[in-house]
Amino acid sequence: MAPRLRGEAQGVFARGFQVVDGTGADHHQKPVIGAMEDAMDGLAGLEGRSGRLLRNGILGEDLFWGGQFLDGLNADIVRNRPVFVRHETTHSTLVEIGAFYRIRMEDFFDPPPDPRLPSRPRKGRGAVGNVDHRFTAWSRQAEDDGWWQDETPAPATHLRVDNAKSILSWNESPDLGFDRSLNPYRGCEHGCVYCYARPTHAWLGLSPGLDFETRLFYKPDAVSLLRTELAAPGYVCQPIALGTATDAYQPVERTQRLTRALLEALIGLDHPATLVTKSALVARDADLWSTLASRSLAAIAVSITGLDSELSRRLEPRAATPAARLRTVQTLADAGVPVGVLVAPIIPALNDHQLEAVLEAACDHGARFAGYTLLRLPHEVAGLFSEWLAHHAPEKAARLMAILYDLRGGRANDPTFGRRMTGLGHYADLIRQRFELACRRLGLATQWPQLDCSRFRPPATTRGAGGQLSLF
């Protein structure tokens, strides 16, 4: 080997009966094959720590045994005389040599740079990368091939049809105030990096990362599917929660108008509905929500993470600004709609100090009730959020994750019913006490208003062309 190992042509050992030529057409040196004695002469000249290793006899017994070459990896004896190939080698080859001689390669040179291309935040998007979902059989990772890397363009939003067979989703969770929900869309363009719904995109074979906020699906048959399910024999009316795994008023609603069509159908049937949203677009439908509210059939909660617009822009890049959401609360309250605020999620060391300020601001704009949830990171969301922290809040990452692991019982997420929303431990107790005291001081209810389910009128049964009841 050459005396210095940095940036020079190096020697590698080839075992077996053939010599592997590691050079390419653009290499200036031809492979030079010498005897094993040449290799030992080269090794004896190594400088620095490598030289000390040789002088201390660390390599001696590992190199030869009984006059034959001994493999340090598996102790198999090479049956042919080893040869020495001098060429420009790769780091992987040197690592193999290090294992061959039982030497740490960091004793010789600095580790090479990571060939993987780092993920970069994209303007207008929440997730930094596009992680593989938990069901995938393949893993993808961009690598730097040494060529010029053009700036990755911001991914565009793509909208596709979702040919759903049903529209209502049912749950029995004691942590939720509803047992049925309706999502007119899959995915959400708001791009909230912490969104608990991101893992649902894995069921479609898509990434919970950028795919969740750029590859969206809409259900054009939502109204007809809803009427069919509400007309089913034995259906018992309870409020339908709109947009629990998506935001029913995300930007694509401006053109698709599915949520507005669903509201019109619910008004015609006197069916109660609730909504949680981060969008100011809900104010567009204030007339419909007001109609439902006049019959005690509606309640809305506007989700606000904090009053810091810069933090909101990074956390939830395409959601309405905190100021716009507060104006939306005022608009809905003026329209007679029971409206509240959901401080969600509360993120330790990031926005938890704003809890009281958010409640006060919402109360000043007409909010009548309030709620909160603590950050939870199910499945792929944990990695996405950690990646986001590394780019946007590295100085707070360690403290934040330490508190999170404490309130989640030593894990990034605790799905246990009864504590997945509020956590456990001293931090969780402190947040609960602060919330209750602030609500008591401001006169905010901590429960959603009760809605009237007695008005519901099932849709008329669809009839065929001959006037008879349709069987299908």
pLDDT grade for 25, boundaries at 50, 70 and 90: very low
In this structure, whether the domain defined by 158-442 belongs to CATH 3.90.79 is answered with no
Q: How far, in whole angstroms, is CA 377 from its chain's centroid?
A: 8
Instruction: Give the side-chain half-sphere CA count within 13 A for 266.
Output: 29
Backbone φ and ψ of 277, nearest 5°: -145, 155
Look at residue 109 and tell me whether its pLDDT is greater than 80: no
Q: What is the mean pLDDT of residues 447-458?
A: 96
pLDDT band at 7 (very low <50, low <70, confident <90, very high): very low
Does residue 55 register a pLDDT over 50? no
Please report the pLDDT score of residue 148 as a whole number: 52
Encode pLDDT of 244-253 as tens digits.
Answer: 999 999 999 9
pLDDT at 237 over 70: yes
Instruction: Give me the pLDDT at residue 122, please.
Output: 56
Q: Is 96 helix (H, G, I), strand (E, B) or coil?
A: helix
Compute the mean pLDDT over every residue in the chain, rounded to the nearest whole number.
77
Q: β-pairing, 298-303 with 339-346?
A: parallel
Residue of 37, 59, 36 lying closest to 108 (CA atoms)? 59
Question: What are the residue ranges spanned by the domains of the chain?
Answer: 10-107, 158-442
> 286-294 and 258-269 helices cross at what angle (nearest 10)?
20
- The pTM of this model reads 0.68
Q: Which of 56-65, 115-124, 279-288, 385-394 shows the highest mean pLDDT?
A: 279-288
DSSP secondary structure code for residue 250 in this structure: S
The CA–CA distances, whole Å, from 212 to 159, 207, 246, 422 equal 11, 6, 10, 25
Instruction: Read off the pLDDT band of 155 (50, 70, 90).
Output: confident
Tell me the HSE value of 8 on the side-chain side, using a 13 A CA sphere: 10
278 exposure class (CB count in 10 Å sphere: 0-12, 13-18, 19+):
buried
Reply yes or no on whether the pLDDT at 274 is more than 50.
yes
- Read off the pLDDT of residues 310-352 as tens digits, 9 standing for 90 and up: 999 999 999 999 999 999 999 999 999 999 999 999 999 999 9
Express the helix, strand and coil content of the chain in percent, nearest 5 each: 35, 15, 50
State pLDDT tens for residues 110-130.
444 444 445 566 556 656 656
pLDDT band at residue 412 using 50, 70 and 90 as cut-offs: confident
The radius of gyration computed from the CA coordinates of the chain, to the nearest angstrom, equals 32
